Amino acid sequence: MTMRTLDDLLAEGVSGRRVLLRADLNVPLDGDRITDDGRIRAVLPTLTALRDAGASVVVCSHLGRPKGAPDPKYTLAPVARRLGELLESPVAFATDTVGEAAQTTVAGLTGGQVALLENLRFQPGETSKDPAERGEFAAALAGLGDVYVNDAFGAVHRAHASVVDVAAQLPAYAGWLVRDELTVLRQLTESPAQPYVVVLGGAKVSDKLAVIEALLPKVDRLLVGGGMCFTFLAAQGHEVGSSLLEREMIDTCRELIARGGDRLLLPVDVVAATAFAADADHATVPVSQIPGDRLGLDIGPETVARFAQAIGQAKTVFWNGPMGVFELAPFAAGTRGVAEAIAGVDGLTVVGGGDSAAAVRVLGLPESGFSHISTGGGASLEYLEGKPLPGLAALEA
């Protein structure tokens, strides 16, 4: 199976053609202020190449989880403004997705101009489980373009109309972002340079169980931090106070610890606080001495040192999930320390999207310190688990 890419489309020529570009512009908002524009910047190479080649570019994306109807909280209007600033040229904004405003906006485009449609998920057909409803919406969306380019890597694990069904109705191509993400993920799965270290954090073991089971036989070291570490610590017999705990996963964690042996590294100390708040009283304690009335909100300095030592020996690192509540300053040191260790590796270092990518930017770490920062945490994990991704399958001919 082969996948046509933007390079193929540009070689065919796009001048005078309308290109429907599926992007992932699902950025975090504080009111109408974008707090992290990383996903917008990630699609700029594809978008700029199409614009400069004379295409009329019709961009579509989702934002948040509206319930299949317009919701002002999830409008893409702030994204259109930011996109225009980054492109240094106006971006026309259609106030609906496939209705009269979209039709009029798209009809008014000339070569080299860009429009953004309103949130795809304002339409129930986008996420519908009914193939007929999804297909009907996809047909309306496909009517706005002559060709389709998917550069929304963060959505390729979703069987949604704009990701799968449109690709069946128009000539379909992978954008440069999707191409680059796949190149890196193939390196991680097919021929990672050894030693290969995976760092996993985040809240729940259940969210990461499939990727842990898939990667544990392949890695030299698997380091576990974040809220999920407390279920592992409970499986070791430690009391974890009021820390996040999935009791139903304790036996599974016990089995993973036995299977992983010394390749599975868990925290030896944590920062335990009286409450989930920046001003809460907190102290670093060994994992064997977490007070019953406290909850762990970060890994401790000794754990950071041990993790950094393991990371420092690596030639390949994949990181997904923060080590603690990095958004609150007293509990950011673990994530910062691990991220800095990864940035110092002489080899392939991949940040697996989501909160890890956000942490790099929130903590002010240079993005250039990492080989690749993914735009799709969920998609990256599912690829590493070995799951087929519907959006990629739809692009294969």
Q: Which two tokens stand for residue 224?
A: 């576990």
Mention every residue, 6+ apart, whose C-beta is less than 8 A from residue 189.
383, 384, 386
Residues contributing to the annotated binding site for substrate = 24-26, 39, 62-65, 121, 158
Structural tokens at position 87: 């492109």
Distance separating alpha carbons of residues 105 and 319, to the nearest angstrom: 41
Task: Check if the beta carbon of residue 153 is closer than 8 Å to that of residue 373.
Answer: no
User: What is the per-residue pLDDT for 397?
Assistant: 61
Sheet of strand 196-200, all strands in order from the earlier edge strand to the far edge: 264-265, 221-224, 196-200, 316-320, 348-351, 372-373
Task: Supply the pLDDT for residue 302.
Answer: 98
Of residues 200, 137, 141, the one with CA closest to residue 172: 141
Q: Are 302 and 327 in contact (CB under 8 A)?
A: no
Can you say which residues are annotated as belonging to the binding site for ATP? 208, 296, 327, 353-356
pTM of the model: 0.89
**Annotated active-site positions, please?**
39, 204, 354, 378
Tokens, residue 305: 């040192």
pLDDT number for residue 362: 85
List C-alpha distances in Å: 204 to 282, 300, 322, 380: 22, 19, 12, 17
Question: Which parts are annotated binding residues?
Answer: 24-26, 39, 62-65, 121, 158, 208, 296, 327, 353-356
| Binding-site residue set for (2R)-3-phosphoglycerate | 39, 121, 158
Q: Alpha carbon of 35 to those of 64, 78, 367: distances in Å?
A: 14, 11, 16
| Gap between the Cα atoms of 54 and 377, Å rounded | 33
Q: Can the peptide bond before residue 195 be classed as cis, meaning omega within 30 degrees of 0?
A: yes
Beta bridge partners of 54: none
Q: State the DSSP code for 288.
A: G
Amino acid 72 reads P
Q: What is the pLDDT along the chain (397 residues), one digit of tens a residue?
A: 689 999 999 999 999 999 999 999 999 998 889 988 989 999 999 999 999 999 999 999 999 999 899 999 999 999 999 999 999 999 999 999 999 999 999 999 999 999 999 999 999 999 999 999 999 999 999 999 999 999 999 999 999 999 999 999 999 999 999 999 999 999 999 989 999 999 999 888 898 898 999 999 999 999 999 999 999 999 999 999 999 999 999 999 999 999 999 999 999 999 999 999 999 999 999 999 999 999 999 999 999 999 999 999 999 999 999 999 999 999 999 999 999 999 999 999 999 877 888 888 888 888 889 999 988 888 999 999 889 999 999 999 6
CA dihedral defined by 224, 225, 230, 233, rounded to 10 degrees? Answer: 50
What is residue 381's three-state secondary structure? helix
List 196's β-bridge partners, or say none: 316
